[in-house]
Structure 1
Amino acid sequence: MGKKKGKGRSVKRNQNVTQEPEELIQAPHSFVIHKGLPGGHILELTKDFRKVMEPFTASSLKERKKNTIKDFVSIAGLLHVSHLCIFSRTEIGMYLKIARLPRGPTLTFKIHNFSLARDVVSSLKKQLVFERAFKHSPLIILNSFSGEGTHMKLMASMFQNMFPTINLTNVDLNNIRRCVLMNYNPTTNLIEFRHYIIKVAAVGVSKGVKKMVQGKVPNLGKCNDISEFLTKSGILSESEMEDDPNSHVTVSQKLISRGNIEQGKSAVRLSELGPRLTLQLIKVEDGLLDGAVLYHDYIHKTEEEKLAIQKKREAKKKLKEKRKRIQEANKKRKEDEKKELKQKSLKGMQKEKSETDIIMQKASKEANEEAAAEDDDDREYYRQEVGEEPDKELFMGNSTTGVKRPKTFHSYKKNKKPKLDGSTENKPPRFGKHKKHSFEGNQNKKLFGKNKKIQTKSKNKDKTNSHLRDRRPIGGKAFARKKNFKAGKKKK
């Protein structure tokens, strides 16, 4: 019995092909790219901002100069990308554009000042950076964004929707490791962007006990007993002083960090990660990088000018739609013409084929008639000369067409040499006009090595009449001519 065939690999049954969870699909994803002039640390700033937007961003996105905004928009829906952040640099300064995909709006900010993440971290005395903090999205904090104006509300909603929402009922505090702070200054209209890492430390225990719980025990060589370390506070450094009471919170969950107890007091500490940005809102557009200007910080236009711009935009839109319709009609017309030409060419090919078939049939019919007429003439001539009816097979042509086949004559020259026993042997090729290669002499040399001189003499005798030899036997008139030629030569 044959081997039982196993189940084939199917997409439905394949366990590796798993669908993405709903939370991951609904979370806002982003692209962070750079455009414009190179230099000015724009590439490093782009990488730092990607680090802020992790994990729902393309951190290893490789862009080229040939890539346009349409390229990113075309694949945004497939990858669930909802926001596009563009850092650009011109001769005047640097800008940041944040656009909602796929149809806008677009916010344009001018970057007054910035600091890279490496500069911020290197300026700290105590650096606190670990990769586990970037596995979850940061917490967004907006300050003083409750001003008047639609641009303020639009700006606040744009910043909020760039990061996933948090459900306070089932949120896990262990996943909140970072926060992004946006502070708006109403007097200067500037936005301060900061990025921090969150650390929670236990409060309400002595400093020695806290050190023991955290596993950070200093040198106890100066102490006579461990009780001195737990009771005396002078051993600890000044940097380990108590936190501000305003930073104390009551933890409702059990945290992974040591010393934090459920329903116990803990202190929240922030350590900056960078980058730092100082932004100013310049322009708000209705579409994706191209649309009606809803707000502009430098240019203010009247209602009449706005109406004129809107009419011009509508006329441009109508002209674009008209050109598109004309282009589609031309495309359809060209396709129809192409189909008609194809059908005409097929009909012409069929017509030519039918005409050639008719010509071939006529030619074959005429050939058959000619052959039949020739057969009839031959039969009639045979009857008149012989006086009898000819046999059927005597003047039979081709069985299928009735046309006689032309006789083929094959002439093969057989270079065969007669032997003494009657058998034939292939004659060796000749080299030159009168030279002849002899296999027979070589065999005699091998068999009779001592009689070489005798063999060579006989060969030299034969060389005198070698030009009179002929491959075929001579007879008849040729033999007489040869005989007369010899006799004449002797007389001379």
Structure 2
Amino acid sequence: MVKKKKGRSVRRNPNVNLEPEELTQAPHSFIIHRGFNNGHILELTRDFRKVMEPFTAKSLQEHKKNTIKDFVSVAGLLHVTHLCIFSQTEFGMYFKVGRLPRGPTLTFKIHEFSLAKDVVSSLKKQLVIERAFKHSPLIVLNSFSGDTPHMKLMASMFQNMFPKINLTNVDLNNIRRCVLMNYNPSSEIIDFRHYVIKITPVGVSKGVKKVVQGKVPNLSKCNDISEFFTKAGLLSESEMEEDPNNHITVNQKLATRGNVEQGQSAIRLTELGPRITLQLMKIEDGLLDGIVLYHNFIHKTEEEKLIIQKKRDAKKKLKERRKRLQEENKKRKETEKEESKQKSLKGMKKDASREQTKNKDGNEDTNQDDDDATYYREEIGEEPDKDLFMASEVNNKMSMKKSKVFNKFNKKHKLDVSSKDKKQNFKKDFKSNKFDKSSDDRRKFSRNKDKNKSHLRTHKPLKSKSSIYYAVVH
């Protein structure tokens, strides 16, 4: 006997698609573009999505019909915390960073930018590692130590865009990229750079590195393999003049060859791009619409701020009033709809009661004859004749039949009586020879009769090719 398979139990089998807490608590981002759809701004948004991987929507599809509310409504389900917008207007390009769902929003002006493909093509040694994009980059802020509130808010916004690092549990193999943001206090400009991190062993010649890393050395210029390991001319200028400040002691075992635990290694950065030069313009309290907390170029007095605040409050009250009126109208329409429904149900009940009364009246008419017969028996004491109380029934039946026939005739058999009478009279006159045979009327009638029958004359075509050939020959 074959055993039956047991069904899956929901309690015993937990949901496999549940994400771990590290992923749900990590900051996620939406990166979109607005304004003129220029080719540069599209490529810049794609490059910035590459920087923010893996906690971003890499293949996010956006359309002109999509509004900011659409992205905000979906953000909660996908654990999205930040919204980055690249916009372009007639005056220039801008970069906005907003905290979801209620702000604040920072607006930057883009002075200069270089795409990732241009940065990589300008390097002599291009190093692009796809495995480096499986983990989030390390954020490094330089000169963001101002005491002003806008500087603190800007630094905290950039730090919260990337996941936090626990120094006790961090794995150095996962830190493969770095984002550097340098602030210049004099010009108030921020330089954005994106690098890939490479750790190489120190105190080892170039030949030894190649052998350790598993590369096949080129021994065409050497007489012996010892020359390949001891020759100092094979080293490049950057390797000959290494900065001792770049040397570190690795406390973990790295996946790259040549780096030994508790050994000396050097950190090297290779730029991936893009390069962006930013300047802070303003800070808003809400998400793209709120009180301006800071503006770099426009400074307003307290009176102007109070006037703006009053306008905002009036606009907010008007919006609330319109919303309340809309809800009241909605409730009123629902009540009217319910009332009309109840009225229609009452009318249907009245029609049903009328039909029942009609049926009762018909039954009373049929039973009236029986009542008359019983009354006749009680008063006279004899049985009445059969035809005595049948006249009313016959009259009722005849009237019902007439009404039915008349209704059918009115609905279906509506004929033109005048044209029918004319045709019948004409046929009677013709049969009774009222027309004179030698008269013109007789001839006209015969001609018209032949013309009317002319459309019935048809020439039947020959069916096959053999019949056509027979007709032509004979």
Place the TM-score, normalised by the shorter chain, in its bin: 0.7 to 0.9
Cα offset for 1:348?
2.0
CA separation of 1:12 and 1:57: change in aligned 2, threshold 3 A: farther
The residue aligned with 1:415 is none
The answer as to 2:348 corresponding to 1:349 is yes
Separation in 2 of the partners of 1:144 and 1:96?
Answer: 21
The residue aligned with 1:380 is 384
CA separation of 1:88 and 1:10: change in aligned 2, threshold 3 A: farther
Cα offset for 1:255?
0.3
The answer as to 2:339 corresponding to 1:337 is no
SS at structure 2 position matched to 1:365: helix
CA separation of 1:350 and 1:246: change in aligned 2, threshold 3 A: same
Larger fraction in helix: 2
TM-score of the aligned structures, taking structure 2 as reference length:
0.77
Separation in 2 of the partners of 1:4 and 1:367?
Answer: 74
CA contact (8 A) 2:373 2:384 kept: no
Separation in 1 of the partners of 2:97 and 2:155?
Answer: 12
The residue aligned with 1:112 is 111
Amino acid at match of 1:209: V
Separation in 2 of the partners of 1:170 and 1:254?
Answer: 14
Cα offset for 1:372?
6.9
CA separation of 1:40 and 1:94: change in aligned 2, threshold 3 A: farther
SS at structure 1 position matched to 2:6: coil
Cα offset for 1:75?
0.3
CA contact (8 A) 1:11 1:17 kept: no
Cα offset for 1:273?
0.3
Separation in 1 of the partners of 2:102 and 2:387?
Answer: 103
Greater Cα shift, 238-247 or 140-149: 238-247
Amino acid at match of 1:347: K
Map 1:130-279 → 2, pairs under 5 A = 130-238=129-237, 240-279=239-278
Structure 1 vs Structure 2 CA RMSD: 2.6
Instruction: Give unpaired runs (5+ residues) of structure 1.
Output: 385-396, 398-402, 407-492
Amino acid at match of 2:312: R
Instruction: Give unpaired runs (5+ residues) of structure 2.
Output: 401-474
Equivalences, count: 387
SS at structure 2 position matched to 1:99: strand
Identity of aligned residues (%): 73
The residue aligned with 1:129 is 128
Cα offset for 1:304?
1.1
Greater Cα shift, 100-109 or 224-233: 224-233
CA contact (8 A) 1:203 1:266 kept: yes
Map 1:302-451 → 2, pairs under 5 A = 302-370=301-369, 380-381=384-385
Cα offset for 1:17?
3.4
The residue aligned with 1:301 is 300
1:170-205 Cα deviation digits (max 9, x unpaired)? 000000000100000011110000000000001133
1:62-113 Cα deviation digits (max 9, x unpaired)? 1000000010001000100000001111111100110000000000000000
CA contact (8 A) 1:208 1:233 kept: no
CA contact (8 A) 1:107 1:283 kept: yes
SS at structure 2 position matched to 1:381: coil
CA separation of 1:281 and 1:129: change in aligned 2, threshold 3 A: same
CA contact (8 A) 1:197 1:273 kept: yes
The residue aligned with 2:62 is 63
SS at structure 1 position matched to 2:98: strand
TM-score of the aligned structures, taking structure 1 as reference length:
0.74
Cα offset for 1:234?
2.1
Separation in 2 of the partners of 1:4 and 1:337?
Answer: 62
Separation in 2 of the partners of 1:379 and 1:125?
Answer: 131
Cα offset for 1:36?
0.4
Cα offset for 1:374?
8.1
CA separation of 1:383 and 1:267: change in aligned 2, threshold 3 A: closer
